[in-house]
Amino acid sequence: MFKQIQRKLTIQYAAFFVLFVLILMIILYIAIQTIMQQQQVQELKMFYTKEQYHLMGDNIERDQEIESDQTDRHEKELHDHTTDEEKEIEYDTNRVYFYYVFTKKHELVHADESLIGLQKDIDRLMLQAKDGEPQSVKWKQEHLLLIKYHAKSDKNGNYIIVGQSITKQHRLLERMMYAFVVLTMIGTLFITVLSHYLAGKAMVPIRRSFERQRKFVSDASHELRTPLTVFYSSLEVLESDEENHFSSFGQEVLDDLKEETQHMKSLLEGLLFLARYDQKKLKTKKETIELSKIVNNIAKSFERTLPATITLKLEIEEGILFEGDETSIRELLYILLDNAAKFTEQGYIKITLSKLKEKIELVVEDTGIGISDNDLPNVFERFYQATKNRQKKGTGLGLAIAQAIVFQHHGQITVESQLQKGTKFTILLPTVDHN
């Protein structure tokens, strides 16, 4: 149980840490990326503002001349620009910024580029771009930051695209992201180990007080058992003493006392059994027992106690042997049959014992009042009694003891139930020697 809590705590701590670090890393990454991008855009804008006249000046002057000329001359001039395009492009792979000047008809006028071949695609890349709005585009293996401007002084609609390669910064961000991921992974591993250790440390005092509490229950049950037995025997002596003549009221009180003492006795027995199970002090014999025979015998004597409204059905495979503690197995059967009888008004109770491939299956089912879906997951808990059945006598320890016996024999116990239809307990026990 403590190991399970420790594991749960470790997982929770680690999950919180991952979530926290992940959010932190994402915020950090976005912040760095935004700052870098803003810086790049600002630099690019500054480059344009500073060089604006120099970049577009020639063309503005030229365009102004063209404006005063004939239209066909203007077109010829533009045509000349396009044909002489190659001459007007300066390549400089070392430069940080580059630019391209286009006419309104998307013909290249003048350019200074650092990425050879970009001129063919640049206009297409920026076709949808709005004036002065920075665009991050991917071109081949490069990441570019581009801005398109229509110069205010240019009446002919010429425009310029200024740009800068941000591939290096992009790679840097990428590497940073990988580093973040690796750091998060290492951190998670470290936190997992640390939180496992810390959860274990925190568990020590809890475990101690829990053990103390268990020991107290065990000691108290043990101490109470003897006086209770004495008390019960005294009641019996009192009852059988011929010199005592009780009135009918006195006899009633005596009977009540006996019944309550009996109830307390079985409660103490149950508590003691579970305390021993918790402290792993329960001694379970390992002897070969004839399970088929035991179940048959118990069923026969149980049948005699059943009211006429309930029939007992048996489906018991002959010759099934089991290795375990006979007294515990008998107790297990009593608990299940007692419940079945207690919570069934009419119909039948059926016991099935069969040998599966590697398991022995024992099923006890009834056509009783059933257990609601809300109660069903809790019936194996100590002192749990379904709300509807509280008026029935019982300690609420029966099924907890049954489960402990099954676990002690390395088996499984499950329950299925439907209100007003019935309940079915299935027990699977190992056939082979498990040690």
Question: Where along the sequence are the contacts to ligand ATP (CB under 6 A)?
Answer: 335, 339-340, 343, 366, 368-371, 379, 384-386, 389, 394-400, 423
Q: How far is the CB of 337 from ligand ATP (least distance, A)?
A: 9
In whole angstroms, give the CA distance from residue 7 to residue 285: 33
Q: How far is the CB of 212 from ligand ATP (least distance, A)?
A: 25
Q: How far is the CB of 433 from ligand ATP (least distance, A)?
A: 30
| Contact in structure between 343 and 413 (CB atoms under 8 Å) | no
Closest residue to ligand ATP: CB criterion: 398
Q: Which is nearer to Mg ion, 74 or 388 (CB)?
A: 388
Answer with the entry of ligand ATP, Mg ion, none that 379 interacts with (C-beta below 5 to 8 A by kind).
ligand ATP
Q: Is 379 helix (H, G, I), strand (E, B) or coil?
A: coil
Closest residue to Mg ion: CB criterion: 398
Q: Which is nearer to Mg ion, 292 or 339 (CB)?
A: 339
Q: How far is the CB of 394 from Mg ion (least distance, A)?
A: 5
Residue 284 one-letter amino acid: T
Q: Which is nearer to ligand ATP, 39 or 378 (CB)?
A: 378
Q: Which is nearer to Mg ion, 142 or 416 (CB)?
A: 416
Strand partners, 401: none
Q: Which is nearer to ligand ATP, 158 or 423 (CB)?
A: 423
Answer with the entry of ligand ATP, Mg ion, none that 164 interacts with (C-beta below 5 to 8 A by kind).
none
Q: How far is the CB of 220 from ligand ATP (least distance, A)?
A: 18
Where does residue 425 rank: exposed (0-12), middle (13-18), buried (19+ CB within 10 A)? buried
Q: Is 107 helix (H, G, I), strand (E, B) or coil?
A: coil
Q: How far is the CB of 399 from Mg ion (least distance, A)?
A: 6
Of the candidates 147, 164, 153, the residue with the CA atom closest to the CA atom of residue 113: 164
Q: Which is nearer to Mg ion, 339 or 423 (CB)?
A: 339
Q: What does the block give as tokens for 78?
A: 């533009």
Q: How far is the CB of 199 from ligand ATP (least distance, A)?
A: 32
Answer with the entry of Mg ion, ligand ATP, none that 385 interacts with (C-beta below 5 to 8 A by kind).
ligand ATP
Count other C-beta atoms under 10 Å from residue 387's C-beta: 8
CA angle centred on 305, ends 301 and 307, rounded to 5°: 140
Q: Tell me the backbone φ, ψ of residue 120, rounded to 5 degrees.
A: -70, -30
In whole angstroms, give the CA distance from residue 56 to residue 159: 9
Answer with the entry of ligand ATP, Mg ion, none that 423 interacts with (C-beta below 5 to 8 A by kind).
ligand ATP
Residues found near Mg ion in the complex (CB under 5 A): 339, 398
Q: How far is the CB of 366 from ligand ATP (least distance, A)?
A: 5
Answer with the entry of Mg ion, ligand ATP, none that 362 interacts with (C-beta below 5 to 8 A by kind).
none
The bridge status of strand 287-290 relative to strand 135-139 is unpaired
Answer with the entry of Mg ion, ligand ATP, none that 40 interacts with (C-beta below 5 to 8 A by kind).
none
Answer with the entry of Mg ion, ligand ATP, none that 191 interacts with (C-beta below 5 to 8 A by kind).
none
Q: What does the block give as tokens for 95?
A: 């430069």
Q: Is 312 helix (H, G, I), strand (E, B) or coil?
A: strand
Please provide the distance, in angstroms rounded to a whole number, between the alpha carbons at the two ends of the chain.
23
Q: Which is nearer to ligand ATP, 195 or 385 (CB)?
A: 385
In whole angstroms, give the CA distance from residue 332 to residue 401: 8
Of the candidates 385, 404, 406, the residue with the CA atom closest to the CA atom of residue 396: 385
Of the candidates 270, 272, 260, 254, the residue with the CA atom closest to the CA atom of residue 228: 260
Q: What does the block give as tokens for 421?
A: 């239809």
Q: How far is the CB of 228 from ligand ATP (least distance, A)?
A: 17
Answer with the entry of Mg ion, ligand ATP, none that 369 interacts with (C-beta below 5 to 8 A by kind).
ligand ATP
Answer with the entry of ligand ATP, Mg ion, none that 221 interacts with (C-beta below 5 to 8 A by kind).
none
Helix axes 248-278, 167-240, angle to 10 degrees: 140
Q: Which is nearer to ligand ATP, 166 or 274 (CB)?
A: 274
Please name the residues in contact with 69: beta carbons below 8 A apart, sequence gap of 6 or more: 77
Q: Which is nearer to Mg ion, 145 or 268 (CB)?
A: 268
